[in-house]
Chain A
Amino acid sequence: MSNLSSIFPASSSNNILEIIDGVADGRTITTNSNSYTFQNVTSSTTLTDSYQDVPGTSLSYTPPTGATQVAVRYYFKHRGSSYSGILGYKILVDNTTVLPSNKHIAGNYTLGGNNHPQFLCHASYVFDLTASSDNISQGIFSSWTTAKTIKVQARRLSSGYTAMVNSNRWFDGGGASGAREVDRPVIQIIAYG
């Protein structure tokens, strides 16, 4: 016969309610509260002078009951195509920009060609779900009980500083092509009670 505590385990004392974690390869993950399907990134993306979605980063997320904070973390690749490859990126919730999440990344400037910078973009933010009213541009929410779309957008600085995302330029001594050229975002969302 089992122990009673095996059937009714003590509640956890930590403040993590759930973690959503995955790679943007089309996988579906299931938690106790929901199922989530990540986007499937199959190619790299060349940026323009306007913000556009970083493929693979969009997810429609509903925090579990009792969540007081939601932390999001995205890793995705930068690839400079000309000069320093200046790239800006930011997080949006239901198409509203979370202003303090805006960051830029770039290599050193060179006139000599050989535009090689490839860095890691790290987009992150912690949303506060305990406010008395919404202020999404500051990542503050009064009530988040239905699905909201969280995503990252990026742009190049201008046509003089072209850049790509989700891309690897080289592979084992030569140029990268096909699947080796694609670098998929890795995403983690943590809901805290």
Chain B
Amino acid sequence: MGNFTDFFSSGSGNNLLEIVQYIPDGRTFEGASTNYTTPNMTSYLTTTTSYQTMTPSVISYVPPSDTRYVRYEYNTKQSNINAYSGITNYKFYVDNVEVEAAWKNFSAQYYNSYGYAVFPIVLAYTLDLTASSDDVANGKISNWTSAKTLKWMCRGHNGTYDGVDMDRNYWRNGGGTGAPYNFTYPLLTIYAYS
């Protein structure tokens, strides 16, 4: 006769509770804690000198029970078409409070014409849910049991370097690209860990 645990083994030591991953095409899917409907991206975003919400990055997220860390990773693309070096600033928000520690900017080399730089960027940060009190600016959240809205916002550095297109598909098959193929989907991945 075998041991009891041969038939009912203990749970895996794996600390991954959930992966939520989507492209923003308006799909609906089931997560561990709730159902999600993704944003439906229909055009690319062009930066101005004011912060704008990167709409495809917006998710109202509910971590599974016992989550201690949440990694948010947004794979997108910066197209500096005619924006010189295209200096662009990015801010991460949890329920409209900025996670200041996640702040970053990206840019290409400066050139006064032929603004052709197109390159992928990743906006990633891991939130710490083990804190005893909220310190969102430093990515610490004490009690996350209901939906919180996560998103990135972006802006151009100034009037010289704005006009950067996020996720624009400028060239395709050897020429300029018109709708509906003038943008590509970013990829959002959220990992919840115990």
Mark out the residues of chain B between 110 and 133 whose CB falls within 8 Å of any chain A CB in the assembled complex: 110-112, 117, 119-122, 124-126, 128
B81 at the interface (CB under 8 A from A): no
Instruction: Kindly list chain B residues whose C-beta atoms are within 8 Å of the C-beta of A18.
Output: 13-15
Query: In the bound complex, do residue B124 and residue A186 qualify as a contact, i.e. CB atoms below 8 Å apart?
Result: yes
In this complex, how many residues of chain B approach chain A with their Cβ under 8 Å: the count is 45
Query: In the bound complex, do residue B11 and residue A12 qualify as a contact, i.e. CB atoms below 8 Å apart?
Result: yes
B173 at the interface (CB under 8 A from A): no
Task: Give the interface SS of chain A, mostly helix, strand, loop or mixed.
Answer: loop
Closest to A19 in B: B16
Instruction: Kindly list chain B residues whose C-beta atoms are within 8 Å of the C-beta of A25.
Output: 101, 138-139
- What is the distance, in angstroms, from A32's C-beta to the closest C-beta of chain B? 4
B47 at the interface (CB under 8 A from A): no
Q: Knowing A8-B8, A19-B15, A116-B109 are in contact, say whether A170-B87 is a contact too (CB < 8 A).
A: yes
A117 at the interface (CB under 8 A from B): yes
Q: Knowing A25-B138, A32-B13 are in contact, say whether A19-B193 is a contact too (CB < 8 A).
A: yes
Give bound CA distance, A176 to B91, whole Å: 14
A122 at the interface (CB under 8 A from B): yes
Mark out the residues of chain B between 1 and 51 whose CB falls within 8 Å of any chain A CB in the assembled complex: 5, 8-16, 49
Query: In the bound complex, do residue A21 and residue B128 qualify as a contact, i.e. CB atoms below 8 Å apart?
Result: no
Mark out the residues of chain A between 151 and 180 whose CB falls within 8 Å of any chain B CB in the assembled complex: 168-173, 176, 179-180
Give bound CA distance, A167 to B144, whole Å: 31
B170 at the interface (CB under 8 A from A): no
Mark out the residues of chain B between 91 and 118 whose CB falls within 8 Å of any chain A CB in the assembled complex: 100-101, 103-112, 117
- What is the distance, in angstroms, from B187's C-beta to the closest C-beta of chain A? 14
1/0 per residue, CB under 8 A from A, across B60-86: the answer is 000000001101000000000000010
B155 at the interface (CB under 8 A from A): yes
Closest to A23 in B: B126
Query: In the bound complex, do residue A186 and residue B155 qualify as a contact, i.e. CB atoms below 8 Å apart?
Result: no
Instruction: Kindly list chain A residues whose C-beta atoms are within 8 Å of the C-beta of B104.
Output: 77, 168, 183
- What is the distance, in angstroms, from B111's C-beta to the closest C-beta of chain A? 7
Q: Knowing A110-B109, A120-B122, A168-B104 are in contact, say whether A173-B13 is a contact too (CB < 8 A).
A: no
Mark out the residues of chain A between 1 and 42 whose CB falls within 8 Å of any chain B CB in the assembled complex: 4-5, 7-12, 14, 16-19, 21-23, 25, 27, 29, 31-33
Query: In the bound complex, do residue B12 and residue A184 qualify as a contact, i.e. CB atoms below 8 Å apart?
Result: no
Give bound CA distance, A25 to B139, whole Å: 10
- Interchain Cβ contacts under 8 Å between A and B, 18 examples: A5-B8, A18-B13, A19-B16, A21-B193, A22-B69, A29-B68, A107-B108, A109-B109, A110-B109, A115-B109, A118-B105, A119-B108, A120-B120, A170-B87, A170-B157, A171-B89, A172-B89, A173-B158
8 interchain residue pairs of minimum CB distance? A8-B8, A12-B12, A107-B109, A114-B110, A116-B85, A108-B109, A32-B13, A9-B11
The chain A residues found within 8 Å of chain B, CB to CB, are 4-5, 7-12, 14, 16-19, 21-23, 25, 27, 29, 31-33, 64, 75, 77, 80, 84, 107-110, 112-120, 122, 168-173, 176, 179-180, 183-184, 186, 188
